[in-house]
Structure 1
């Protein structure tokens, strides 16, 4: 993974539009700690790239991933656009990839909406993630943003610097090891605090609970067909063993934003 760190350091130097680092602790019977760093940068006139590194520490395993996402924006008019998405990376000891799209429509200056679909080739099979994108400002104090149902966020803004709110996130991820692969299904609810304490530096923190947090270990040859977000379609594959770890979740992070997008 040292090459991921090198790439991250190089990309942080020039042309950067955003970067950040986050630490998350998930409690419960099978606790986990995650450090995630990312950098977003322009590549071409209508293309953005994003590099992500994740270090996941479980009680009996340490896993890493490094991935890159590409976003190509096709603008039809001032209100309509289509974003094509491609992603790929190394997830511990195996490669994963995916592709998708997001169609966006600007209804008014305060209402933007979109629909989209992502396909991910996971180690447990094929995953589809349909989503609805919302960016709504009902007033100067409130915003409703995010991808529904996988990551919606409602925030109250005291001023231009300090905000609090609620966020729900769902994820189904997988990592390959020598003999097995890990599948993690997680749904988390968080109370969030955000503080833009300089023009470009954003501090964020959150505390909440994992409603679902399941770690399943499978033989590398097992496949379970298709999954919609975290819900398998058809017969479920049987893991070699699994850990259920509902409990507290807490996160803290720092982001550098060169713009307000």
Structure 2
């Protein structure tokens, strides 16, 4: 909620500064065009005010304030010279150019302040997205990116301590047909329910990953041999079958079934974590 409020405040400041600058530009153009006697002088002063505002935007507000002080000092000195030496009277144009340049700078500063806030919020969102990329947003499971890192550690442990390590790859049978029968909300619920069932079917020291959301593919790293992995696979299938029989699963038009393939890690045959996934995925063909 706080981030949303900050983004809203940044957008409001940016929009307010931009609209104020447009209004001031319109006022400056009307003032310059209304007095033909001092047209050239007013054009020069208007360009000077624009230049100060642009420098304040690209450098910083302190630079803008300093340049505005120099502008006001120079213009005030010029007006005093005209009054004392020439005998001119102070007209409305003098007050206009004493007020407008600081207003231009203030409008540009307001716009740049809002823009910088939006940029900071955007960077924060990008960092948050990069962190969330390690977790699937629908199932809240670790993704294939994390699997690649974890698998490297687990494979090293398996080789060093001779601990059996097996990868289970699970897919929803007839997934392409199932997804055509359900809405996007139901598909999200299916992935979430199956992820929860799989999580409750394994031990705490085993790891569950969402390898491919579009194809409904999970990966389970189990510290067990092929026989133990087969027991876990049957347990998961039994839990899914029991889930299908429950009354609350009736909104799902199609009955959910899983295909499970497994491959026990062998340092001589498994080249990488993705090669391991491929070898386990090939075993899906034999789960009919």
Q: TM-score, normalised by structure 1?
A: 0.22
Select the structure that is richer in helix.
2
Select the structure that is richer in strand.
1
Which structure: larger Rg?
2
Which structure is richer in relative contact order (CA contacts within 8 A, separation 6 or more)?
2
